[in-house]
Each structure stands twice: as C-alpha cells, then as structure tokens.
Amino acid sequence: MTWDSFTEQPRVADLLAGSLRHDRLAHAYLFAGPKGVGKKRIALHLAKAIFCVNLPADACGECVQCRRIDAGNHPDVHYISPDGASIKIDQVRALQKEMAMRAVESSHKVYVIEHVDKMTVQAANSLLKFLEEPPAGVVALLLTENAHSILPTILSRCQTISFAPLQPEVITQRLIAEGIASGLAQVASQITANLDEARVLCQSDWFAQLRNVVIQLTQELKQRNSQALFTIQDLFLKHDRFKEALPLFLDLLILWLRDILYVQAGRQQRLINGDQQDVLQGQALIWTKSELLHGIELVMDTRNRIERNANPQLALERLVLQIQEG
C-alpha cells in the first residue's frame, strides 16, 4: 500500500507525502477526526514511510522495516493508548525516558499516541514538555476524536490535520472489496460513516434480518389489518436485542420508504437498497407519495420519542397505527 492507496483521505495523504518528499516533516502531528476514518492506518503508513528502505517518502509494505512496523515490533516505533479510562502520567514518563535514548535502527523515532484527549491533566502537562523541546529525529503522532478536549497549549505545538468523515461511496467500495454483498454494503454505508462499524453491521446476520423485517413490514402496513402489529409484537417477544436495535431498525425503515419514493420518481440510480429493486417496484404501486412522505415523518418522530425514553414497543405500535390511519 502506497500513499496513492488512501483514496478515503486523499488530502491528508498528499499533505504528508509532500512533507516527506521535501523533508519538512513536523515533530508533532495531531490527527483529528471521527472514529473509523483511517487515522491510525495513515499514522502507521507515515511511520513506515519514515523507515522504508525501498520507496523514498513512501512505504513498500514488503521490506523488513515495513513488516516489523506492521507486526508492531519495530524498536523505534512506539504506541501508547489509554490504560483503562485514561492515559496516565507514568505512561508519559516512560515515553519520555524512551525518547531520550538513541534510536536503534536509524536517526528517527516515531510515537503513536491514541486517544490523546483521554490524558490526565498531569500526563498532558508532562507531554507538553516534550512538545516544547522535542529530541532530534522524534516524530509524535497524536490521534483523537475530540480535538476540542485537548489542552490549547498542546494544540498550539502540533500541526493539526483534520480527517474528513468517510463518504458513503468510499465505505461501500471498501466493503465490497472485502467480499461483502453490495446490497448490504450500500445500506450500511448510509447508516454510519465509520468503516469499522459498517463492516460489523454487514457481518452480522441480525442486520440482514432487520432489513428483511423492514421489507415485510412495509408490505403489511398496506394490508389495513393487524398483521403489522403482530409482526412488531413478535419481534419484541422473540428477540431480546430488538429493543436495543430499534434505532437501527427505524433508520433502515426510513431508507426503504425513501427508496420507494425514488422508484416512483424514476430515480433508480439513487436507490440505497438497489439489490431489492424488484420488491421496491412492487411496493411503489401500493404506496402513494403523500403516504410515503408522511410515513418518513412519523418514523423520524418515533425515533426522537424513543431517544427521549418513550416505551419502545408502544412507540412502534403507535407508529404502525398512525401510518395505517393515514
């Protein structure tokens, strides 16, 4: 993997590659962005690019240096993550002691500090001393999802690099490349901008099962009988985890109703559930546009009510009755 491979964060990759090529690498970077957007992957690639013996300013992934970094046993690349709920001062002191020692393999040392916002005040103040007077050849890579929680004095001594949320298309392509069915990949990419979370969703049989229930329910809602209510009651009775999965279920329902609207408007290229186009076309014949728009509004309201601690089963049964009443 080279810098060109980081299509999910091309601006970040170009910036770091350029800094390496022109020998303008900063002594400390703050990688800030949501979870799952590639901060650690790029941090490790930067570490490999510093030590790689085959590709100048990049990483071949095959040399001894690259392989040792991938394996987590390079003597000049060190990692710190929270010990329990926080990064403690003893961890930073050990890091400073290590920093003072000469590099084993080259003139560089790299430190990757994950969740740097979880440092105790004492640990943060101790780290600040390093950032003020960094040893020669040392590069610190600080990773965070909450840049606003970091001391301003630390922020001012780092070059902050912001990571953008992943676009749904990028997540979909990555998941498909990993062997995940395109239909599930596309739906998951609309549920979360976190690649890891999207992957876990797609690998769960429960995710596919929930989508099947959404398809079944939207058909039953138009039958004007009690079957839709029985389906809801059955879900709560047979699946203990359905209560926790209800926000996800409602998100899937919104996406499905929206897809029916797209079919009615002849905008099949916008479908999220594209692998279910035949079913969507069938349901587009039994729903009116006004019913769909009202249904989406009701689902969103139900989701908000559940977040405000409404009874999940009663809220969902109420949703069914409201949609059927029109």
Q: What is the pLDDT of residues 104-155, one digit of tens each?
A: 667 789 999 999 999 998 999 888 888 888 888 899 999 999 999 998 999 9
pLDDT of residue 239: 83
User: What is the largest distance, in Å, between two alpha-carbon atoms of the chain?
Assistant: 76
CB atoms within 10 A of CB 310: 14
| Alpha carbon distance 190, 211 (integer Å) | 13
Phi, psi dihedral angles at 191 (to 5 degrees):
-80, -40
34-74 residue pLDDT tens = 888 899 999 999 999 999 999 989 999 999 999 999 999 99
Question: Strand, helix or coil at 192?
Answer: coil
Work out the average pLDDT over 208-230.
89
- Please report the domains of the chain, with CATH numbers, ordered by start residue: 3-165 (3.40.50.300), 204-325 (1.20.272.10)
pLDDT at 103: 65
Please compute the mean of the pLDDT values over residues 9-16 and round it to a whole number.
Answer: 94
* CB distance 125 to 18 below 8 Å: no
Q: Are 75 and 231 in contact (CB under 8 A)?
A: no
β-strand partners of 79? 112
Alpha carbon distance, N-terminus to C-terminus of the chain? 54
Apex 247 CA angle, 293 and 316, nearest 5: 65
Q: Which helix (H) or strand (E) holds 300?
A: helix 289-307
pLDDT surpasses 70 at 3? yes
64 neighbors 24 (Cβ within 8 angstroms): no
pLDDT in tens, 189-200: 999 988 889 999
What percentage of the chain carries pLDDT values higher than 70? 99
Per-residue model confidence (pLDDT) at position 104: 67
Three-state SS at 142: strand
